[in-house]
Amino acid sequence: MAITSSDHLRTETTTLRILIALSCIHCMNDCLQSVISASYPVLRSEHSLTFAQIGIITLVYQIAASVFQPLIGLLYDKYPSAWSLPIGMTFTLTGLISLSQAHTMPLMLVSVFLVGIGSSTMHPEASRLTSLASGGKRGFAQSLFQVGGNFGSALGPLLVALIVSPHGYRNIAYFAILALIAIGVMMPVCLWYKKHLKSFKARKQSVVQTVTLPLSKGKTVFTIGILLVLLFSKYVYMASLSSYYTFYLIYKFGVTVQQSQVCLFVFLLATAIGTMAGGPIGDRIGRKYVIWASILGAAPFALIMPHANLMWTIILSFFIGLIISSAFPSILVYAQELLPYKLGMVSGLFYGFAFGIAGISAAFLGKMADAYTIEAVYKVVAYMPLLGLVTYFLPDLRRKKK
């Protein structure tokens, strides 16, 4: 049987209080991150932005939140620090306050870049700590961690609807309070990590010397490529919903901004539920089968949605979010099992790739919406989940371990 990092780098039992704290941190972080996209209708109205400019803002944010993730993950793989999480949240705090005062496009771009850097620091580091505290239940741990982020992403639009939409974009500054609370929650996690850091370093060295990788180098590279294709299909489609779903509902059905944000909350809530289910199911039946069902299973609903009325659009978006979101915990843990002593780099690569694809897609889809209408966008991206067919080429690591 292959030796994995969960055999060496984990604490003796699942440290549930640390996992819950990390999930809460992820919740608050992603709530703050989602403030940007949820505030787009307000920013567009007050600054007369085009869809293309909205896409550029998203692109800059996603580049900051993606390109730097594997680099920061690799840096902390080599030089781990117990205080990396509060450092990242400080960038987010600064960016949000700056965005609340931004009155020009360049200042908006600088602001969202700072928020993106905060995300680039938090995701690979918190994901690494989640793996270390999992006690071997890695699918469960990543799902618990990820669902915190999904709930945060769902909560953000609701808070924006209550705080920002009625009173203007300057009220974004109030979210600095949540960033300060997040830093407070991070402190016990930092102290726990500092206490165990020396033993984690020793165990990591043992893994590097004794680990047996589940696949050859060539097959590992090929398999990671397949996983990235799957992420590509998932996040191109998700970008259309997270960035433009509110505009789609307003354009096609004439709902108000606040009503559209409530509908976005319904979709994001479904993604939180699906994420929580995906990891434990992957622990039980195998991650490949969860990935199969998740991405390909969303295709029928995605293809029907552009032709549905308002009620069915909301229902279909709920099922799409529920199904497609269950893939990410399984994809991430599958990748970590391929390279068990590069947890930070692997986590950063996959979070970063997901964010980068989302950013590039948002910019491209924004231009497409300007040229052909927002409704045309959803008719095209509906075919993206069909790329889930490439899951056929993934090796079954569960069977190889046996």
Q: What is the pLDDT of residues 245-288, one digit of tens each?
A: 988 999 999 998 888 878 888 887 888 788 878 778 877 787 88
> At residue 375, does pLDDT exceed 80?
yes
Computed over every residue of the chain, the mean pLDDT equals: 83
Q: Note whether 160 and 38 are within 8 A (CB).
A: yes
Each residue of 133-178: pLDDT tens digit?
Answer: 877 777 788 888 888 887 887 788 888 888 887 777 788 888 999 9
Q: For residues 331 and 4, which has the higher predicted lDDT (pLDDT)?
A: 331
User: What pLDDT shows up at residue 389?
Assistant: 92
The whole-angstrom separation of Cα 28 and Cα 24 is 6
CA trace torsion 11, 29, 68, 241 (10° rounding) = 120
Domain ranges of the chain: 5-401
Which has the higher per-residue pLDDT, 82 or 305?
Answer: 305
| Of the candidate ranges 79-83, 305-309, 381-385, the one whose mean pLDDT is the lowest | 79-83
Res. 85 pLDDT band, cuts 50 70 90: very high
Q: With bands split at pLDDT 50, 70 and 90, how would you rate the model's confidence at 48?
A: confident
Query: Is the predicted pLDDT of residue 384 greater than 90, yes or no?
Result: yes
Confidence of residue 1 (pLDDT cuts 50, 70, 90): very low
Q: Write the pLDDT tens digit of every residue in 51-63.
A: 788 878 878 887 8
Residue 113 has pLDDT above 90, yes or no: yes
Crossing angle between the packed helical segments 51-64 and 217-253, to the nearest 10 degrees: 150
Instruction: Concatenate the DSSP letters of all residues of 151-207 into one string.
Output: HHHHHHHHHHHHHTTTT-GGGGGGGHHHHHHHHHHHHHHHHHHHHHHHHHHHHHHHH
Per-residue confidence (pLDDT) for residue 380, from 0 to 100: 92
Distances in Å between the Cα of 196 and the Cα atoms of 96, 184, 209 are: 33, 20, 20
pLDDT of amino acid 7 = 42
- Provide the pLDDT for residue 401: 57
Q: Which amino acid is at 280?
A: P
The set of residues, in sequence order, having a beta carbon less than 8 Å from that of 199 and lying 6+ positions away, is none
Q: Model confidence over 230-249: pLDDT tens digits?
A: 989 988 898 888 778 988 99
Least confident piece of the model among 113-117, 193-197, 364-368? 193-197
Looking at residue 142, its pLDDT comes to: 82
Assigned CATH for 5-401? 1.20.1250.20
Split at pLDDT 50, 70, 90, the class of 199 is low
Contact 21, 189 (CB under 8 A): yes
Report the pLDDT value the prediction gives residue 9, as an integer from 0 to 100.
44
d(CA 291, CA 279): 10
* pTM for this prediction: 0.68
Highest mean pLDDT among 1-5, 149-153, 300-304: 300-304
Residue 107 amino acid letter: L
Q: What is the pLDDT of residue 340?
A: 76
Q: Determine the residue type at 229.
A: V
pLDDT tens digits, residue range 202-226? 565 555 545 567 788 888 889 999 9
Residue 383 or residue 47, greater confidence = 383
